[in-house]
Chains A and B, each alone.
Chain A
Amino acid sequence: MSGTHRYYAGLDMGSASIKAAVLSGHRLIASEIVASGGKYSDTARKIMGGVLAKAGISEDRLDGMIITGLGAESAPFDAPQVSDISCHAMGCHCLFPSTRTVIDIGGQFTKVARITPQGRIADFLMSEKCATGSGRFLQVIARILQVKLEDIGPLSMTSKHPVEFSTNCAVFAESETVSRIAEGAKAADILAGVHHAMAAKVAMLLKRVKMEPDVVLTGGGGEDEGLALAIGDALSLKILVPDKPRLTAAFGAAYLAREQHFRSHENHSD
Chain B
Amino acid sequence: MEAKEQTKTTAVKGTNTARKVRGLVKQIFQSAHEAKAQGKKVAYFMVTSQYDEIVRAMDIVPMPTENFAGLCGAKRDMDRFLLKAEEDGYSQVLCSYTRIGLGFDSLRREMGRIPENSPDGGMPMPDMMLGSSAVCDPRFKWYQAVGRFHHVPTYSIDCVAPSVHADLNEVRDYYIRYQKEQFEGLIAFLEKQMGKKMDRERLWEAIRLSEKAWRLWYEIDRLRVAVPSPMPAQDHFSIMVAGLYYAGTQTAVDFYQELHDEVKDRVEKKMGVIPDEKYRILYGGGLPPWHTLWIFNYFESFGAVFAIENVYRGSDPVEVPSHVKDPVEYLAWRTFLRYTQRYEKAKANSGNPKVEKLLEMIDDYQTDGVVFHACRSCRAMTVGQIHMKNLLGQHTDIPMMQLVSDMVDLRDYSEAQWKAQIAAFIEALAGRQAN
A residues with a Cβ closer than 8 A to B are 70, 81-86, 108-109, 111, 113, 116, 120-126, 128-129, 208, 210
Contact = CB atoms under 8 A, between A and B. Distances in A.
Contacts of B383: none
Q: Which of A82, A85, A129 has the most CB of B within 10 A?
A: A129
Contacts of B163: none
B195 interface: no
A85 B420 contact: yes
Contacts of B425: 124
Contacts of A111: 420
B427 A83 contact: yes
A82 B420 contact: no
Interface residues of B, number: 20
Nearest to A127: B417
B410 to A, nearest CB: 11
B412 A83 contact: no
B157 to A, nearest CB: 36
Contacts of B393: 210
Contacts of B416: 70, 108
Given A120-B431, A129-B417, A86 B400 contact: no
Contact of A86 (B402, B404, B412, B427): B427
Contacts of B91: none
Interface in B410-435: 412-414, 416-417, 420-421, 423-425, 427-428, 431
Contact of A121 (B414, B420, B428): B428
A123 B431 contact: no
Contacts of B404: 128-129
Interface string B1-37: 0000000000000000000000000000000000000
Given A82-B423, A83-B423, A109-B417, A129 B428 contact: no
Contacts of A122: 428
Contacts of A113: 424
A83 B420 CA distance: 6
Given A121-B428, A124-B428, A129 B420 contact: no
B373 to A, nearest CB: 14
Q: Is the interface of A mostly helix, strand, loop or mixed?
A: mixed
Nearest to A208: B386
Provide the main secondary structure of the chain B interface: helix
A48 B393 CA distance: 42
A126 B418 CA distance: 10
B422 to A, nearest CB: 8
A58 to B, nearest CB: 30
Interface in B194-211: none
B399 A123 contact: yes
Nearest to A128: B404
Given A85-B420, A121-B431, A129-B414, 9 more contacts: A85-B423, A85-B424, A86-B424, A109-B420, A121-B427, A123-B399, A124-B424, A126-B421, A129-B413
Minimum-distance CB pairs A-B, first 8: A83-B423, A85-B424, A83-B424, A120-B431, A121-B428, A129-B414, A86-B427, A70-B416
A208 B400 CA distance: 12
A128 B418 CA distance: 11
Contacts of A85: 420, 423-424, 427
A126 B420 contact: yes
A84 B420 contact: yes
Nearest to A113: B424
A85 B419 CA distance: 12
B385 to A, nearest CB: 11
A81 B428 contact: no
- Which of B393, B401, B412, B417 gathers most chain A CB within 10 Å? B417
A85 B399 CA distance: 14
24 contacts: A70-B420, A82-B423, A83-B423, A83-B427, A85-B420, A85-B423, A85-B427, A86-B423, A86-B424, A86-B427, A108-B416, A108-B417, A113-B424, A120-B427, A121-B428, A122-B428, A123-B399, A123-B400, A123-B428, A124-B424, A126-B420, A128-B404, A129-B412, A129-B414
A128 B375 CA distance: 12
Contacts of A109: 417, 420
B292 to A, nearest CB: 14
A16 to B, nearest CB: 14
A123 B421 CA distance: 11
Contacts of B431: 116, 120-121
Nearest to B376: A128
Interface in B37-83: none
Most buried by A among B401, B412, B424: B424
B404 to A, nearest CB: 6
Nearest to B374: A128
A14 B340 CA distance: 49
Nearest to A68: B423
A144 to B, nearest CB: 25
B212 to A, nearest CB: 43
Contacts of B412: 129
A82 B427 contact: yes
